[in-house]
Amino acid sequence: MVLSVNMKFVKFIFLATIGCVIGQQKMMKIFGKVLDVDLDEVTIGLEPVSNFKCVDDCFQTDGCILVFMNSGGKCFSFDFNSTKKLTVVETKREEGLMVAFKTRFLLDQCPAYDDMDLVVTVGVDPIPWIKNGNEYTFKKCDLHHKMFKRKNGVVVCMQLYTVGNDTESVVNSMENAKKKCMKERKYQLTGVQSKEELQWIFGEYKIRSDENVGIWINARRQNEYSGMNDTHFNITDGYTTLDQEFYRNFADLSGISDAGIPEDCLMVSKASPGFLMNDVPCDNNDYAKVYACGYLLV
Ligand SMILES: *[C@@H]1O[C@H](CO)[C@@H](O)[C@H](O)[C@H]1NC(C)=O
Ligand SMILES: *[C@@H]1O[C@H](CO)[C@@H](O)[C@H](O)[C@H]1NC(C)=O
Ligand SMILES: *[C@@H]1O[C@H](CO)[C@@H](O)[C@H](O)[C@H]1NC(C)=O
Ligand SMILES: *[C@@H]1O[C@H](CO)[C@@H](O)[C@H](O)[C@H]1NC(C)=O
């Protein structure tokens, strides 16, 4: 069934119904083109196909996220694994270019075109198409990274690392962890902005009860508050903003050890019940074995 919606460019195509709490998988077709892709060039040697077959083939293929086609039977599909970034821009009907996105919508919902949240649901986590004017952009994190879309619209990719693959080696200072993220991975020691990110980091390392392991994150108490039970942290990743309440809620803070050593750096670790972070000495830290790197997805 092809359902034409009373809208300028949009056509939903309900090819099948897949029961799912977040909606049924559908193809959404617009007049548009994939930027930086010459449809004639990429389809050289391919047999022309009908628009319907072009869209249906993508719909039926698990890894397909989008097809780019024209009225002359040229059809090119993009699969999830080999696509890191795609930009689609709306075009005029007369140009005869079309793009169909694989996405999910609830059957009983037909949001206005401008309110549509297109999401790629092919991979492990849903990835939003970011709409900016008449452009849609799809961006994926590096392999094995976890993507977080923050409230302020910032999208961040994160992963945890150990020294080599040796979980016994310590990364004994926060500065070392920062350097490791930068030099070896070209990432930042990442800051944490939400409970969701914190829980992911905590869970990802599956901290065992018998193992005293800490994970460096980017948060060092500002110099003038050193040694104090205070939430003025300095975050240097370039994309995390200081939210003092967040640290108060989720970090077990003291500012200083019983022996009088300042504890100005934050670590994700088993803390007192209810907390997922501790403030710890920034240097000579023997239980710092993991570090969380990240980068801004642009
Ligand atoms: C895509 O990558 C995933 C993870 O590496 C793999 O399991 C899957 O088979 C790949 N899919 C295709 C169509 O290559
Ligand atoms: C990491 O693991 C691989 C394969 O298990 C091993 O060959 C290698 O020596 C290990 N490297 C380190 C630094 O432990
Ligand atoms: C924050 O960190 C940067 C880089 O380490 C440093 O230059 C700056 O002085 C720090 N700011 C505060 C207020 O501690
Ligand atoms: C640090 O401050 C918080 C909030 O005022 C307080 O609940 C906590 O007990 C303090 N921690 C220590 C070790 O004094």
Hey, whose CA ends up nearest to atom 8 of ligand 1?
81
Q: Which helix (H) or strand (E) holds 185?
A: helix 174-185
Give the atom of ligand 1 at the shortest distance from the alpha carbon of 80: 1
Domains of the chain listed by start with CATH number: 6-139 (no CATH), 147-296 (3.10.100.10)
Give the atom of ligand 3 at the shortest distance from the alpha carbon of 222: 14
Candidate of 181, 218, 234 to mutate for ligand 3, largest count of ligand atoms within 8 Å of Cβ: 234
Mean pLDDT for 265-290 is: 92
Pick from 126, 124, 135, 137: nearest CA to 104: 126
d(CA 277, CA 250) in angstroms, rounded, equals 6
Distance of CA 114 to the CA centre of its chain: 23
Mean pLDDT for 87-109 is: 88
pLDDT digits (tens, 9 = 90+) for 100-135: 999 887 666 666 777 777 888 887 778 888 888 999
Ligand 2 centre and the CA of 177: distance in Å?
20
pLDDT tier for residue 160 given thresholds of 50, 70 and 90: very high
Other C-beta atoms lying within 10 Å of the C-beta of residue 70? 19
Mean pLDDT for 44-49 is: 95
Q: Could you give the residue ranges of the DSSP H alpha helices within 18-158?
A: 39-42, 51-60
- Decide if 277 contacts 198 (C-beta within 8 A): yes
Ligand 3 centre and the CA of 234: distance in Å?
6
Top-confidence residue, 170 or 16: 170
* Ligand 2 near 165 CB (within 6 A): yes
Separate counts of helices (H) and strands (E) for the chain: 5, 20
Ligand 2 centre and the CA of 169: distance in Å?
13
Hey, whose CA ends up nearest to atom 8 of ligand 2?
165
